[in-house]
Every structure is written in C-alpha cells, then in structure tokens.
Amino acid sequence: MKTRVSSLSRVVRPSRRIFLRGLAAGAATVVGLPLFDFMLDDHGEAHADGVAIPTRFGLWFFGNGVRLDSWTPTNTGSDWQPPAGGALEALVPLREHVSVVSGLSVMTPRHPHHSGMATVCSGGPHLKVDDVRDTIVSTFKYPSVDQIAAKYFQDQSPTPYRSLEAAVTRFRGTDEGTTFQYLSHNGSVGGETNVNPSEESPHAFWDRLFNQGDAEPLVKKARARVLDSVGAQIRSLEPKLGARDKQRLDQHLTSITELEDRLAAPIAECSKPGDPGEYPDLGTNEQMTKKNAVMSDLMTLALACGLTQSFSIQYATCGSGAVFWMVGATDGQHYMNHTEPAPHEKQHLAVRFSMEQLAYFLGRMKDTSEGAGNLLDHSSILVCTEHAEGWTHSQDDMPMLICGKGGGRLRGNVHHRDVGGNTTRALLTALRGAGLPLADFGYEAGYTSSPLGELEG
Amino acid sequence: MGFAFRSALLVALAATAACVGEIGDPADGGPASVADVPSAPTLHRLTAIQLENSYRDLLGATLDVPADLPADDTLYGFTSIAAASSTISSVDAEKYEKAAYAVLDQVWADDAWRVALVGCDSTSTSEGCVRAFLITFTERAWRRPVTTKEIDALADLGGEIAADLGDETALELVLASVLQSPSFVFRVEVGEPMPLRRDGLRRYTSYEMASRISFLITDAPPDEELLEAARNGDLLDVDLLDAQARRLVDDPRARPTLVRFFRDFMQIGTLDHLDKSPEQFPAFSPTLGVSMRTEIERMFESVVFDEERDFRTLFTTRETFVDEELARVYGIEGVTGPEWVPVTLPDDGKRGGLLTTAGFLAMNAQKTRTSPTHRGRFIRVNLLCDDIPPPPAGVNTTLPDPAPGSETTLRERLEQHRKDPTCANCHDKMDPLGFAFEEFDAIGAYRTEEDNGLAIDSSTDLDGTPVANGVEMGKLVAKLPAVGACVARRFYEHAGGHLARSGEEVAVATLVDAFAASDYDFKTLVVSMVKNDGFRYAMPEKAEGSK
C-alpha cells in the first residue's frame, strides 16, 4: 500500500512536555503543562512579552432543574452554606471558585423546557421551527454564550479550535428540535437549525484532539488549497439561493474557513494522552462517573494546551431522560420528575450526584497549574439548567452557578440572591468574567444591562 | 445559466403542458387558487446513507466507507426534514474532509482501481483524457452539467498542487474538492423560471427532478437511465416522470429506502435504545428493541412490497415475523435462534396489527410501567395527524398518589387526573385511546391484571365509538380516512423536507385522494408524490429588505 493523503496527515509528533497518566483508569492523574511556566513574567500572571494568560469561557449544562429546598444555600453573601445534605455539598471544598446565583427568572415568553433552555444558555427566546403545527419543535434564535465568547476570543487571538463541545450522558430528545438535543448553538436567522454537536464518545474526542498528528507542510498547504476551492464554490452558489439557505451556506463557509485556518495555525504543544477507549453501558446502566471523568480530563487538557479558549459540556440535555440508576432511579429523569411524589428524593439525589460530577471537572481544572495559579483561576464557567423544578416546569428562581476566578475578574464564594431578576444577568456576568468588554447582553425580553456586581472582583 | 442542451421549443412546450390545468392558467393571470402555492426551494443535505451510496456510486461498490460520517438529525420526527434545515458545523466539515480522503485513498492506493476510474494512466489535468474524466466525475458527483469555468477552476487547483506534490496526488486532492463541494454534500435544487409565468413560480429542472426522485425512492444518486432521461429533458413530462418513478419503486433499493421513511413515520428508530427494567421484565435484553423494530419494518415490507396490499392492512393483520426473543414476549413456542420466521398469530382476539406489536407498545411506555397517555398520544399525533399542545407552564404534572390504603389501577389514577379541567382539555384526546392497550405491559407482553393484582379494563372509546381492546382499536383505526390522509401528508412532508404549509393544502389533498383512490397502495402513493405539483414546482420566498 502506498502512503496516501489521509495517512500522511498522521505523522505523529514526538512527545513534548505534557503528561496525563491514568486517564482511562480514573485514578489520580497528573497533568503537566507545556506552555506557560517558562514563558511567563516574574509574577506568573502574564507571558514574558506582557500578554496576559488567556481566560477561558465555559458553559456546563444539566437537565430538568433541581429541588430548590435542597439546592439553595442557607445564607447569602460569602462563605455560602448548602442545607444539610444539600445538592451543592460536593462544591463546598471548591467554594473559593464557585458563586451561587439564585432567584433569577426567565424573562422570555414561557414554554416548558424550550424557553428555559434557550434563555439561560443564550439570553434570548427559543425559536419555533416551521411554525405551522400546534406542536413544539424549537431551536435557539440566538447563539449560546459559548459561541459569543468563542467569536470574541477568535477575533483577539485565534486558537486552533474556535470552540470545543463535549457531552457526558447519552440521552437525546428526538422530537422537540435541537433545543432538546444540543447545547451549543449558532443562532437561527430564518428557521435553519445551526448547532455545534457535542462529542459524546471519549475515544472519538481523544482521536480528534490528540491523535491526528501533524501532516507534512506541503500536504497541509495542498489541503488548505482544496478547502479554499470549496469556499469559492460556496460563494458562487450563494447568489442563487433564498435567504434561509444563504444562512446555511454561510455556516458551511465559516466551518470550511475554520478548518483551513487550523492548517495554518501553530501546532499546539501537547503530547498525546493514551486512548481512553469507550465506556459502554453495564447492563443497561450508563457509566456516567467514568465518562464524566474522562471527558473532563480531555477537556481540561485541551484547555491547558491552548487548543481552544471556549468550550461547552452537555452533562445532560434539556428534558433529559438519562437514568440516574446510581441513586435508585429506574425511570428517565424527565419522566421521574413528572411521577415521583413529593419530596422528590430521587430527583434531589440525582442533582446531588450531578454536582459531584461537576466538582470532579472543576477540581481537575483547579489541579492544573498555570502560571502562579491554576486553570480554574483563569476561567469563567456558567453552570445552568432549564427549569427551577421539573415537576412544575417553573422558570422562576433558576439554579445557576458561576465558577472560576476569571483571571481575577470574579470574586468566587458568593451567594447572590435576586428574586425576580433577569437570568441574563448571570450570563452577562460570566461573559464579563471571561474578559468580554460587555456593558449589556441579551435579546428581546431577555436583554439586560445589569451585571451581578457582587460577583465581580 | 440554464442548460443549453434542450431546444427552446421543447422548453416552451413543456412549460405550457406543465402549467395549464395543473397549477393554474397563466393566461388568466396566476394560480387557479390563491391558496395553491408550492413551497420555496431548499437545500437538502445528503443523509449518512445517501452520502455512503453516493461515494460508492462514484468510486465503486467495494469501497470501505468510514463509519463516522456526520450524524443524521431528526426534526418533526423526520431525518429528511432535518436534512433540509441543518447547517454544516465545523466538526461536520472535518468529517466530510476526513471521509473524502479516506475513500479516495483507497482508490489511489491501488493503481489498477485508479486507472479504471480515470480511464487512462495519466493523472495530469492538462491532458484531454484526465480532463474528460474530471468533467464526467464532477457531473455525476454534482448531479448536473458543469460549466467550463467550474472545470477550469478544478484543473487550476490540480496544477497548483501538482507543482508541490506531483500529478497523481494532485488529482486525488482535486477530487477531494469535488467531494466536499456544497454541490455534492447538498442537493442543490433551485428550479428554473417559467417563461409564461409572471408570479415568479419556478419549475424544478429535469436534472433536479432526477435527483429528487432518485433520492426519494432509492436514497442514492440518479442511475444512468435516470441521468439519460435528465439530459433529454424527459423529467419535465408527467408521463415520462411516471414511468421513471414506477421503474424505481420496483428497484431493490426502494425497499430499504421506503422502510427508512416508515421508520421515521413510526418513530421506531428509538427502539434501538429501548431501556426497560431487567428485574421487572426478564424477557428484556439490550437487543430486544432492535428485534421489535425489525418486526414492524418486516410487516411494512410484507404488506407494501411482497403482498402489495392495502396499507391499512398493517393495522389488522395477524401475519407477522418473529425471532426467538420476540417469540418469547408473544408467548409463541418453537421459535429458536436469531432467524426470522413468518408466523400467523392465533385468532383469539388478543393480538393483531401494528398497534399490538411489542414495538409500538414498548416504545410508548415507561421503563417499568405502561403509559396510556403516550400510546394514545402516538395514535392521535402520529397516526391521525392531530396535534396536541404541551402542558401549560407552571402546572404541576405529577400524578396524584393513590389515597392511603386504597389500591388503584393506573387507569383510575389517570381518570382522577382528568377531573382537573386544565389537564382534561388535552388528556381527553390521549388517555382513552391508550386504555385500549392496558392488556399489554411495558414490553408489550399480554397480561390480564396489573402488578398490584387488580383486573385490567381495556374497554374504551375513540371519539365516541366503543372499543373493547387493542385489536379492536386497530380495526377501527384502519377504517378511519384520517389514517390514510395522515400517512400521505407525512410522505408529502418527507419528500419535500418541510412541513406542509397553508399554500400546499391543495397539493396535499391531491396526494391524499390519489392514495385513497388506489385503495391505499403505498407504491401508488410514492408515484403520485413524484407527479404532485408540490414536488415539481417551487415558489421562491419574496425578497425581504436589502439583504
């Protein structure tokens, strides 16, 4: 067999200075850093050339709301305390990096799941697709906040990936539109569905990010030329199309351009972690803890290596039917919310378990040193869900967290309660925490010009 | 613009024939009815199976097509509707690039394969033989004639790359450009203006019609015969279109393709991930759901293709197929191993037709118990095309607990639930239909009592007509005109990749009538669809604003 283009692109670079051990085992792992320590100034807070360590932005989503009486901290202000046995107990050790926001309301026209999902992730209403039937299928009208940050970062200092999307649990809604299937959206101008799908396979995520090797320069140049020609084909087709299809081709062009730019981007100095493999169900039980650990590890490494500056983790979908078997649940979470009698103990335990999974990810970020601090110091991560409580579809008193120190822009360790305030206040604050110079944010009824000052450093 | 191979006379004749009496008479100044307006043209992304078939069509049947092609989505239940709405994300663009090189590498690794494809030893795009190949290949990939300018651009690309990497690799990369082009990964169908029309109505070209019917009926690009018909302008003629559609519907590829429509229509793709409590249902296994889906698809194939019977027979037939796993759920003895065997269910009034298949019953149930609401909702929404809005925001949807010390059936608790008028408004349309199937548990096995020992009452009604049980419900549903109308409407929406809009009600009604007039022969539905005005014409959206 001759060597061909796809194999030419698999010349594996020699290992550099980063190590990730025990990845698949889920044991304690050590992440070393490639880039920053020898390139930093004396204070360890900026590169030697004065360029600040970048702040990462993240969106971490879980589905079906919480049980408010076990979620909401018992005090406001600093040193927040969860109620005894509360859902947030696993985050207490990370409290310096975690602020809780409670009381906020979804301001856009209400619809079970759809409006909550679109509004807490994008700051604007959902969009019903093809509005000719009395049944709801929706997408996001406006981009999710990870894409707002991605665009800003890419304009400032491009990374190889504009953004990265990962998923943990496997349930996807099938008949209510992209709102029930995906987290990261690019917005919709004319009803097109424009999403950034999340990778849910640990092996595929690893293969995409760390196993492609590097192609020979002439092959990369040729592949870039091919992509450039595809771009020209897209541009010549656009004038023949209607407005909606033009939008769809614009996204195709954006995607092709991103691939082309990546071929010209400097190679990230990452060494290759081991293949994490897959985590198939045991019986019918999903291995959520292990999948969460390995996806968290891979995302942390990708962020540390500078593969991207903006990310999203779809721990579970809006209206998720994931079965939290480890807390004794036998039905999917959405159905369980509609059938479990008060006091909704299994839902409480499912949320508590989910926050332990979040704590693993945040802990991994915090354990990754960067300059004088760690990766979580240089991140701003919005954590949200589409309802306050699933059994009523309520969208008041929405559960939200803002994690990370935002490179000093976020205080951490605050419980801020604003009853009836606009949920977009939290989005605006998280984006500002990542360094976006925004005085206001949101769309239509979701608009706000009022960040949560108490959370800002 | 336009294709020069047809005479102006032919165009004019065809235009006249297509317009007069079918979609209004232009001499009278527009469509026959103001409500009769076809939808705007749209880009259709190739689905994963269509992409796979296209690679094989271009490069060879033995090609090893990568498994990680961009995943299909569904919208309103249909892959086809999502494909007409979705964009190509950056991760999907990566997958298209990777797949293009993965398939081309196989050909380029084998000199004999490459020479057979190209038609000569040379790989230099400046040579006549290679240029001729590039034209043929690109036309087939893009499913339309190509312009000199387009071929020049590809040849220039080859020349630039050849300077660095040599002719052979350069030609491969040129083909990679063809295979990542929007003209390949999308079906680009924009129609052509109709000279006699002033309202902007467009007609899909003969080439566009070739793609439309080929992907609709075979999930594959047009074959040689269809391309020849496209070249001749034949597919603007209803009779020639009819002949091609009849040929394709009997092509072996039509079976799996129309089964895929039926899979979306019945939403039985979800059975592949069926999740039931193994403690409660010892007959459950991770592969049982796939068997359930397969049974329903085989019933469809049998009625539509083998027997060519009335589509509605599906709701009443006792002829079905089982493997060992499914036989266990049905209590049929003597079936062992993974082979599928045809069986006739006993005439005991317990089971017969689609609505008493384990698949229908299990997918519309929860992990541990049945759901009359979901079973009823499916019939109402998916089989009768009657929408039911979601519960209003702020309503507590949790079923009330049984009163302490009293045992109740699920039916009794749901009936209690419907005493609340807020709930009854919609649940009255769903729950009573579902009660007919309470004789079947959450994996579709027959039962006479609930887990708590209380007797099942499956007698109910459908909009006032009494029904004793699931078998009776199937017999009643089969007689409702709404069922035939619903499957025809969904096929119309599947074919066009969009929900039927108000301007298309005449086109939908025409299709529904044709289906009914054929005694619900599904192949006739497919052929009628191809000839339907809504499939052959397009009305572009009015330009709004300056952008």
With bands split at pLDDT 50, 70 and 90, how would you rate the model's confidence at B425?
confident
- Write out residues 169-188 of A within 8 Å (CB-CB) of B: 174-175, 177-178, 181, 186
Strands A400-403 and A98-102 come out as: antiparallel
Mean of the pLDDT values across residues A246-271?
A: 88
pLDDT at A33: 39
pLDDT at B176: 98
Residues B74, B493 contacting (CB under 8 angstroms): no
A192 and B77 within 8 Å at the Cβ level: the answer is no
DSSP per position, B136-190:
HHHHHHHTS---HHHHHHHHHHHHHHHHHH-HHHHHHHHHHHHHHSHHHHEE---
A174 and B74 within 8 Å at the Cβ level: the answer is yes
The torsion angles phi and psi of B433, rounded to 5 degrees, stand at -65, -40
For residues B236 and B9, give the distance between their C-alpha atoms in angstroms, rounded to a whole number. 13
Query: Chain A interface, mutation test: which of B107, B208, B275, most A Cβ atoms within 10 Å?
Result: B275
Residue B247 CB neighbour total at 10 angstroms: 16
pLDDT at B13: 38
Chain B touched by A335 (CB under 8 Å): yes
For residues B12 and B30, give the distance between their C-alpha atoms in angstroms, rounded to a whole number. 17
| Tokens (6 digits) for A232 | 């020209």
- Tell me the pTM: 0.91
Among B109, B165, B278, whose Cβ lies nearest the Cβ of A2? B109
Mean of the pLDDT values across residues B503-513?
A: 95
pLDDT at B21 over 90: no
pLDDT at B508 over 90: yes
- Write out residues 76-115 of B within 8 Å (CB-CB) of A: 76-77, 81-82, 85-94, 97-98, 101-102, 104-105, 108-109
pLDDT at B49 over 60: yes
pLDDT at B169 over 60: yes
Chain B neighbors of A284, CB-CB under 8 A = 275-276, 278, 286
pLDDT at B248 over 60: yes
Q: What is the mean pLDDT of chain A?
A: 89
pLDDT at A408 over 50: yes
Residues A99, A410 contacting (CB under 8 angstroms): yes
pLDDT at A395 over 60: yes
Query: Tell me: the pLDDT tens digits for A170-226?
Result: 999 878 999 999 999 999 988 899 999 999 999 999 999 998 877 889 999 999 999
| ipTM of this complex | 0.90
pLDDT at B10 over 50: no
Q: Would residue A223 count as lying in a domain?
A: no
Residues B258, B217 contacting (CB under 8 angstroms): yes
Residue B278 CA, distance from chain mean position: 32
The torsion angles phi and psi of B205, rounded to 5 degrees, stand at -70, 170
A5 and B97 within 8 Å at the Cβ level: the answer is no
pLDDT at A406 over 60: yes
A4 and B109 within 8 Å at the Cβ level: the answer is yes
Whole-Å CA distances, A403 to A65, A377, A446, B239: 18, 9, 22, 66
- Write out residues 182-201 of B within 8 Å (CB-CB) of A: 182-183, 188, 190
Strands A310-314 and A164-167 come out as: parallel
Tokens 């283009």 belong to A5
Query: Chain B interface, mutation test: which of A3, A6, A135, A307, most B Cβ atoms within 10 Å?
Result: A6
| Tokens (6 digits) for B97 | 């690039």
A174 and B90 within 8 Å at the Cβ level: the answer is no
Q: Which residues pair with A166 in a beta bridge?
A: A199, A313
pLDDT at A267 over 90: no
With bands split at pLDDT 50, 70 and 90, how would you rate the model's confidence at B407?
confident
Angle at the Cα of A291 (from A290 to A293), degrees rounded to 5?
A: 65
pLDDT at B314: 98
Query: Tell me: the pLDDT tens digits for B96-152?
Result: 999 999 999 999 999 999 999 999 999 999 999 999 999 999 999 999 999 999 999
**Lowest mean pLDDT, pick from A16-25, A66-75, B158-167, B402-411:** A16-25
Chain B neighbors of A1, CB-CB under 8 A = 109
**Lowest mean pLDDT, pick from A63-72, A89-98, B13-22, B112-121:** B13-22
pLDDT at A175: 81
Q: Would residue A366 count as lying in a domain?
A: yes
Long-range contacts (CB closer than 8 Å, 24 or more residues apart) made by B2-8: B2/B192, B3/B145, B3/B205, B3/B207, B5/B145, B5/B231, B5/B233, B6/B206, B6/B233
For residues A413 and A410, give the distance between their C-alpha atoms in angstroms, rounded to a whole number. 9
Chain B touched by A162 (CB under 8 Å): yes
Whole-Å CA distances, A44 to A363, A412, B299: 21, 21, 69
Strands A184-185 and A195-196 come out as: antiparallel
Query: Chain B interface, mutation test: which of A151, A233, A339, most B Cβ atoms within 10 Å?
Result: A233
B85 and A162 within 8 Å at the Cβ level: the answer is no
pLDDT at A174: 77
Which residues span the domain enclosing A310? Answer: 25-213+275-455
Chain B touched by A419 (CB under 8 Å): no
Which residue type, as a one-letter code, is found at position A338?
A: H
- Write out residues 10-39 of A within 8 Å (CB-CB) of B: none
Q: What is the mean pLDDT of chain B?
A: 90
Q: Would residue A248 count as lying in a domain?
A: no
Nearest CA in chain B to A338: B398
Query: Chain B interface, mutation test: which of A252, A260, A317, A345, most B Cβ atoms within 10 Å?
Result: A252
Chain A touched by B35 (CB under 8 Å): no
**Domain ranges across chain B:** 46-187, 274-393+408-479
Query: Tell me: the pLDDT tens digits for A5-42?
Result: 654 443 333 333 233 322 333 332 333 334 434 445 55
Mean of the pLDDT values across residues B304-309?
A: 96
Chain A touched by B366 (CB under 8 Å): yes
Kindly report the nearest CA distance between residue B280 and chain A, in angstroms.
11
With bands split at pLDDT 50, 70 and 90, how would you rate the model's confidence at B446?
very high
DSSP per position, A119-131:
HHHHSS-EEESST
Query: What CATH number is associated with residue A394?
Result: 3.40.720.10
pLDDT at A6: 55
Query: Chain B interface, mutation test: which of A106, A245, A257, most B Cβ atoms within 10 Å?
Result: A245
With bands split at pLDDT 50, 70 and 90, how would you rate the model's confidence at A123?
very high
How many domains does chain A contain in total?
Answer: 1
- B277: three-class secondary structure by DSSP: coil
Containing A166, the helix (H) or strand (E) segment is strand A164-167
- Taking each continuous run of H as one helix and of E as one strand, the counts in chain B are 24, 9
Inter-chain CB pairs, A–B, below 8 Å: 240
For residues B248 and B523, give the distance between their C-alpha atoms in angstroms, rounded to a whole number. 10
pLDDT at A179: 97
Which residue type, as a one-letter code, is found at position A127?
A: L
Q: Which residues pair with A56 in a beta bridge?
A: A379
Sequence-distant (≥ 6) Cβ neighbours of residue B342 within 8 angstroms: B319, B320, B321
Mean of the pLDDT values across residues B435-457?
A: 93
Kindly report the nearest CA distance between residue B359 and chain A, in angstroms.
17
Chain B touched by A48 (CB under 8 Å): no
**Lowest mean pLDDT, pick from A30-34, B425-429, B503-507:** A30-34
Query: Tell me: the pLDDT tens digits for B170-179?
Result: 999 999 999 9
pLDDT at A298: 97
Residues A72, A103 contacting (CB under 8 angstroms): no
Query: Tell me: the pLDDT tens digits for B351-403?
Result: 999 999 999 999 999 888 899 999 999 999 999 999 888 777 667 776 666 66
Q: Which residues pair with A416 in a beta bridge?
A: A101
Angle at the Cα of A333 (from B269 to A89), degrees rounded to 5?
A: 145
Nearest CA in chain A to B539: A242
Residue A233: closest CA among B137, B189, B46, B181: B181
- A291: three-class secondary structure by DSSP: helix
Cis ω before A343 (30° cut-off from 0): yes
Q: Would residue A225 count as lying in a domain?
A: no
Percent of chain A at pLDDT above 70? Answer: 88
Chain A touched by B180 (CB under 8 Å): yes
**DSSP code of residue A52:** B
